[in-house]
Amino acid sequence: MNKKVRKAVFPAGGLGTRFLPATKVIPKEMLALVDKPIIQYGVEEALASGIEHIIFVTGRGKGAMEDHFDYSFELDHTLERRGKNEILEVSRGIASMARISYVRQKEPLGLGHAVLCAKELVGDEPFAVILPDDVIDANPPCLKQMIKVFNEKQGSIIATMAVDGPAISAYGCLAGSVDKKNPRIYNCTGMVEKPKLEKAPSNQAIIGRYILTPRVFDLLEKTTPGAGGEIQLTDGILALLKKEKVYGYNFKGKRFDAGDKFGMLQATVEFALKRPEFGEKFREYLKGLGI
Ligand code: G1P
């Protein structure tokens, strides 16, 4: 195989029910984390990792995402007229940052089905999957770390992090043995979608970053509904595992679930504290709350 990872698929067709009422009209991917929609963090991570082509799998009511990554003539023209060059650069920069293709997932049949919708756009090459809810603060970026491992191993790579206790039931869970040379790498032997704690094969939770070989598409076509009655990506990868090697990778960095209200609050505080323009002021404000 030995092909470069050039494309990243962003499943973004979900309804965002965990974030109602904010997501009744606004796509959850467009919710602002400090001052950027959460999907932009994922796109910036992909670009910083060497991805050349972004593929959004969208659905009904997700038009705001397309507008966000496009030129806004009225806005740009007004900013130009008012001499607001710095903000103009920000606005134009978003539109020119990436080559983006869109494909619609017409029915919410599950994450595996969403990835399958990108089959024609990806073609016969390894590709990344980024779940935009999972915002990851990492240096080097999480996907870049994974591409490095992919280039060494030439097999599918799944991001994991340690989650102890019953919280593991909110994730896919990876089974495997630790690589002898690199303790962050797992030789994957199985995975279970959202297991009960007693059934969890390890404490390695699957996080929303994957590098997959294109064979997974044929297997996803044959995957029947699993956990929650949905076509699960985890089940497609499990079928892949019967044919090829798959690796877990415990990335260096911190992940936030920005599709969840509490996770978004945590991310907001931590990302705001890191902002040079107002991080210090925000720290003083938090201290002043005396909590
Ligand atoms: C999806 C995957 C799951 C993974 C999780 C990470 O679940 O199916 O394996 O652990 O993303 O965020 P979801 O959160 O979409 O239900």
Average pLDDT of span 60-76: 91
114 lines ligand 1 (CB under 6 A): no
131 lines ligand 1 (CB under 6 A): yes
pLDDT in tens, 135-186: 999 999 999 999 999 999 999 999 999 999 999 999 999 999 999 999 999 9
For atom 13 of ligand 1, the residue with the nearest CA is 171
8 A C-beta contact, residue 143 and residue 49: yes
Instruction: Give the separation between CA 10 and CA 115, rounded to whole angstroms.
Output: 8
**For the chain, which domains are there?**
12-259 (3.90.550.10)
Q: What percent of the chain has pLDDT over 70?
A: 99
- What pLDDT score was predicted for residue 96? 85
- In 3D, which of 150, 148, 156 has the Cα closest to residue 212? 156
Average pLDDT of span 270-281: 97
What pTM, to 2 d.p., does this model score?
A: 0.95
193 lines ligand 1 (CB under 6 A): yes
Q: Tell how far the Cα of 82 is from the centroid of ligand 1, in angstroms.
A: 45
- Non-local (6+) Cβ contacts of 109 within 8 A are 225, 230, 231
145 lines ligand 1 (CB under 6 A): no
Helices 279-288 and 261-273: angle between axes, nearest 10 degrees: 120
- What pLDDT score was predicted for residue 255? 98
If you ran DSSP here, which 8-state letter would residue 252 be given? S
pLDDT in tens, 160-173: 999 999 999 999 99
8 A C-beta contact, residue 214 and residue 125: yes
Q: Tell how far the Cα of 69 is from the centroid of ligand 1, in angstroms.
A: 25
- What pLDDT score was predicted for residue 1? 58
206 lines ligand 1 (CB under 6 A): yes
Average pLDDT of span 269-288: 97
Q: Which residue has the higher pLDDT, 92 or 105?
A: 105
pLDDT surpasses 70 at 77: yes
- In 3D, which of 7, 5, 41, 20 has the Cα closest to residue 261? 20
